[in-house]
Amino acid sequence: MACINSVPAPEEDAADDRRLWRQGEENYSPNFSSKETWEQLRTHHLMLNWSRVVWFKQGIPRFSFITWLAFQDRLATGARTRDWECIQPCILCGEPDETRDHLFFACPYSFVVWYDLAEFLLGPRVNPDWSITIASLLSPRRKEINTCLLKLILQATIHSIWRERNNRRHQGDPLSPSQMVRFIDKTIRNRISSLRYRKPAYYSDMMQRWLQRTVSS
């Protein structure tokens, strides 16, 4: 109230009031911008170095979300439900301690899938260790198309393994690693095809690069 009282009342011959939207510390505009409004409302944090692996324009939103949860270690794995006195071994291989790092990709089932899909791009650097895997994806010394493909492979693999894990817990029919690989392969082909209208030459090159995996495997 004291702040309001300190503002002088407008004079009778002053111009009409105008609605202005705040778009910065000292910047106001008559035009509304949802982006600028969100920037004013949200809490700003430092950009994490792995964020570009999770959020990128070629990504599939539902895959990106599950991958984001995995990076935050927020998936409801056995390690997280242990505090609720709910013991969950890895249903894919029987390992008693089901953690994020085990599922991606220390689990033998998961690693077979990851290796089959990523080996043609990573070669001997394909690793079952989560931290080493993420570090290899953050390497700047890689062609843009290969980087994009690796991010698509990672997200599709994380999403598919998590779905398979949940499906088995609800008595669904299990997929073999080779079936999982074929499913992910089709998913990535479909995603690249859906993007071709944006930059036909670029995504045609990406599709050709992806098809080289089948030839080399």
Give the model confidence (pLDDT) of 20-38 as tens digits. 877 777 778 878 888 888 8
Average pLDDT, integer, range 85-93: 87
* Domain co-membership, 120 together with 31: no
* Domain membership flag for residue 125: yes
- Residue 35 pLDDT: 82
* Domain co-membership, 168 together with 211: yes
Arithmetic mean of pLDDT over the chain: 89
Quote the Cα angle for 52-58-61, to 5°: 80
- Residue 217 pLDDT: 61
* Domain membership flag for residue 100: yes
33: left (phi over 0), alpha (psi -120 to 50) or beta: beta
Q: What is the DSSP letter of 183?
A: H
Question: In the predicted model, is pLDDT for residue 3 greater than 70?
Answer: no
- Residue 10 pLDDT: 66
pLDDT digits (tens, 9 = 90+) for 116-144: 999 999 999 999 999 999 999 998 788 99
* Domain co-membership, 24 together with 57: no
Residue closest to 40 by CA, chosen among 54, 24, 21: 24
The larger pLDDT score, comparing residue 193 to residue 40, is at 193
* Domain membership flag for residue 46: no
- Residue 7 pLDDT: 65
* Domain co-membership, 59 together with 35: no
- Residue 12 pLDDT: 65
The larger pLDDT score, comparing residue 2 to residue 52, is at 52
Write the secondary structure of 76-98 as one string of H (helix), E (strand) and C (coil).
CCHHHHHHHCCCCCCCCCCCCCC
Backbone angles phi, psi at 109, to 5 degrees: -60, -50
* Domain membership flag for residue 97: yes
Residue-number span of the structural domain to which 82 is assigned: 51-216
* Domain membership flag for residue 141: yes
Tell me the pLDDT band of 4, cut-offs 50, 70 and 90. low
The larger pLDDT score, comparing residue 15 to residue 188, is at 188
Residue closest to 50 by CA, chosen among 130, 142, 164: 130
* Domain membership flag for residue 110: yes
Q: In the chain, how many domains are there?
A: 2
* Domain co-membership, 36 together with 117: no
- Residue 216 pLDDT: 64
- Residue 73 pLDDT: 94
* Domain co-membership, 33 together with 119: no
